[in-house]
Amino acid sequence: MNFILYGEQYPMIRKHLAKILKDRLKEPDDFNTTKIDFDESSIEEIIAEASLLPLGYDKKAIVVDNATFLTKEGKDEEKNKLLECIKDTPDEINLIFILRSDKLDKNGAIATYIKDRGQILEFLNLKKEDWPVYVRKYFKNREVEIEPAAVNELILRVDGDLTRFINEADKLCLFKDRLTLSDILLMVAKP
């Protein structure tokens, strides 16, 4: 199965990628997962890797990060080569493309093909009204209580930056299991 994960929230993409790899491969490791950074590689390297069957495993995954060829600015020749490769890839190989942008060419041939036979997942920036729910859920999953005033102040201090929020929240979880407004004022710097 093939996937496209795209958007500006890379921490969420990374978390979902780990879930996909665990679901598809059961125990992902360096032998059944190949990571290719398109900024440092070419379409030919992706095609070459996709042509190799998994050795000693039932399945393997190829994760292509910075898949800028999935935007409208991508070269048509590269897109055509890759589309043929995707069509010929056996079921034992999972191709996962990561685009760290919201500029996916949704009507492009690759996106259309994967949409019909795989999954395209979008990870947009959280809207202002979604932040309080996300923050409360994040702390609840870590069994840490946080009072409403602390939630609001933390949202203000991370200023819509999910990576910063995760870093600060993880630090706060180590600090206490019941967070108050004064804890946020003490521990989290203003933007």
pLDDT at 191: 82
Residues of the chain with pLDDT below 70 are none
Of the chain, the percentage scoring pLDDT greater than 70 comes to: 100
* Alpha carbons 59 and 39: distance in angstroms, whole number: 26
Which strands form 60-65's sheet, in the order they lie side by side? 33-37, 60-65, 93-99, 3-7, 119-123
30 Cα distance to chain centroid: 18
pLDDT at 8: 86
pLDDT at 3: 96
Tokens 């890379």 label which residue?
10
Contact present, 171 and 142 (Cβ < 8 Å)? no
Structure confidence by residue, pLDDT tens digits, 4-48: 999 988 888 998 999 999 999 988 898 999 999 999 999 999 999
